[in-house]
Copies of this chain bind each other. A is one copy, B any other.
Amino acid sequence: MKIIRTSAAMQKWSRTATSPIVFVPTMGALHEGHMALVQRARKLAGKNGSVVFSIFVNPMQFGPKEDLSRYPRPFKRDATMCKEAGVDVIFHPIPDQIYPDGFSTAVDESSVSTSLCGASRTEHFRGVCTVVLKLFNIVHPDTAVFGLKDYQQCRVLQRMVRDLAVPVKMDFVETVRESDGLALSSRNRYLSPEERLQAPIIRKALLAARAAFRAGESSETSLTNIVLRDIRKATDARPDYISVVNGESLQPVKSAKANDVIAVAIFFGKTRLIDNIRLLHQRLRA
Contact residues of A with B, CB < 8 Å?
Answer: 7, 11, 100, 102-112, 129-130, 133-134, 137-138, 140, 159-160, 162-167, 249
B104 close to A107 (CB less than 8 A): no
Known: A11-B167, A167-B11, A167-B140. A162 touches B106 (CB 8 A): no
Count copies of this chain in the complex. Answer: 2
A138 CA / B164 CA spacing, docked (Å): 9
Across the interface, name the chain B residue whose C-beta is closest to A99: B163
B105 close to A163 (CB less than 8 A): yes
A102 CA / B246 CA spacing, docked (Å): 14
Known: A107-B107, A108-B108. A134 touches B102 (CB 8 A): no
Q: How near does chain B come to A88, taking the closest CB pair, in angstroms?
A: 20
Q: Which residues of B contact A108 (CB under 8 A)?
A: 105-108
Q: How near does chain B come to A95, taking the closest CB pair, in angstroms?
A: 14
What are 15 of the A-B contact pairs (CB < 8 Å)? A102-B111, A102-B249, A104-B110, A104-B111, A104-B112, A104-B159, A104-B163, A105-B110, A105-B129, A105-B160, A105-B163, A107-B107, A108-B108, A133-B164, A137-B166
Q: Which residues of B contact A102 (CB under 8 A)?
A: 111, 159, 249
Shortest 4 CB-CB contacts between residues of A and residues of B: A104-B111, A105-B163, A137-B165, A106-B108
A104 CA / B251 CA spacing, docked (Å): 14
Q: Which residues of B contact A110 (CB under 8 A)?
A: 104-106
A165 close to B11 (CB less than 8 A): yes
A164 close to B109 (CB less than 8 A): no
Across the interface, name the chain B residue whose C-beta is closest to A10: B165
Q: Which residues of B contact A105 (CB under 8 A)?
A: 107-110, 129, 159-160, 163-164
A162 CA / B162 CA spacing, docked (Å): 22
Across the interface, name the chain B residue whose C-beta is closest to A105: B163
